[in-house]
Amino acid sequence: MDFNELKQAVGDLDEEVVLDILNKVMEDGGSEAKDALEACQRGLDIVGDMFDKGEYFVGDLIFAGELMTQAVDILKPALAGTTTESVGKVILCTVEGDLHDIGKNIVRSILEANGIEVIDLGIDTPPQKIVDTMIAEDIHVVLLSGVLTLALDSMKKTVDAITAAGLRETTKILIGGNPVSEEAMKLTGADAWAHNPQHTNQACLDWLKK
Ligand code: B12
């Protein structure tokens, strides 16, 4: 399978070619689904560069988002295991001020496919809504997604709100998305960070089993 062609087709926002290649990946048994997903993500980098250069506009970003959602839907059955038994519940959301949810939705698909129940609070999530849900649903694992640089401030505010509610000692918090790093983890006060949904999956499984 030519994944460079897929990457470029995503970058060119060529829906027909993208869907055609992804459907072929699935017809071939889906063993290359993860490579295909990575190629799509690299294609989105091209979209980001074009946006930076002023050649693409916000409408193109929205279209890229919709294209990526379709891509995940096609690849989803092949992206992870087939577990049906629940291993536990986590909260996942995009933090306050950030409306990007494509990466978050990929993470959710992978966690659910591995038997983790995900309470998805959506985008632009106020810290208090997270705290209220933690209490109402008795949740001890919280995953915060953010794509904008300013998301780091909201992640810190969220960790602070969890601490102020007296829940920090019994909660594991992971931050994910483009701007996160070891340094961001220390700055926000989270327990872990990840760019890769597979790493997140393993961290959740380890935390939920304890
Ligand atoms: C699509 C898109 C949009 C869409 C979002 C649609 C949607 N439903 O999400 C729309 C049009 C809404 C949008 C809006 C804006 N966007 Co925008 N957008 C993008 C774009 C092209 C792709 C983002 C994306 O979905 N990537 C694909 C996913 C799969 O990648 P990801 O989000 O990084 O997620 C992966 C990992 O980070 C990780 N991950 C993500 N979440 C989590 C969570 C956990 C727990 C874990 C473990 C991992 C994880 O796993 C994912 C899979 O590997 C990027 C450029 C780029 N190349 O990234 C710009 C980009 C993110 N946007 C940008 C900007 C500036 C904006 C706007 C301010 C534009 C404007 N002028 O209005 C607004 C901001 C709105 C807001 N308040 O959030 C900048 C951000 C700059 C910055 N550093 O802050 C970027 C980088 C473009 C650029 N080069 O300037 N955008």
Per-residue pLDDT tens digits for 151-164: 999 999 999 999 99
Tens-place pLDDT, residues 83-133: 567 889 999 999 999 999 988 987 887 788 778 899 999 999 999 999 999
Best residue for ligand 1 mutational test, from 49, 61, 195 (most atoms within 8 Å of Cβ) = 61
Any bridge partners for residue 173, and if so which?
Answer: 142
**Ligand 1 atom, smallest distance to 146 CA:** 41
Tens-place pLDDT, residues 5-24: 999 999 999 999 999 999 99
Ligand 1 touching residue 69 (CB < 6 A): no
Ligand 1 touching residue 200 (CB < 6 A): yes
Provide, rounded to the nearest whole percent, the portion of the chain with pLDDT above 90.
70
Ligand 1 touching residue 141 (CB < 6 A): no
Q: Give distance in angstroms: CA of 48 to centre of ligand 1.
A: 9
pLDDT for position 202: 82
Tens-place pLDDT, residues 43-99: 988 999 999 999 999 999 889 988 988 898 898 888 765 556 788 999 999 999 999
Instruction: Please check the confidence at residue 137 and state whether its pLDDT lies above 90.
Output: yes
pLDDT for position 84: 61
How many helices, marked H, and strands, marked E, lie in the chain? 9, 5
- What is the C-alpha separation between 137 and 17, in angstroms, rounded? 43
Question: Atom 88 (ligand 1): residue with closest C-alpha?
Answer: 48
Question: Atom 79 (ligand 1): residue with closest C-alpha?
Answer: 148
Ligand 1 touching residue 72 (CB < 6 A): no
Question: Atom 30 (ligand 1): residue with closest C-alpha?
Answer: 103
Domains along the chain with CATH numbers: 3-79 (1.10.1240.10), 88-209 (3.40.50.280)
Are the CB atoms for 102 and 68 separated by under 8 Å? yes
By C-alpha distance, which of 68, 25, 17, 73 is closest to 47? 68
pTM for this structure?
A: 0.87
Instruction: Please check the confidence at residue 201 and state whether its pLDDT lies above 80.
Output: no
pLDDT for position 109: 77
pLDDT for position 83: 55
- Output b/e per residue, 61-87; b: 16+ Cβ within 10 A: beebbebbeebbebbbebbbeeeeeee
- What is the C-alpha separation between 94 and 108, in angstroms, rounded? 12
Question: Atom 52 (ligand 1): residue with closest C-alpha?
Answer: 103
**Ligand 1 atom, smallest distance to 104 CA:** 41
pLDDT for position 115: 80
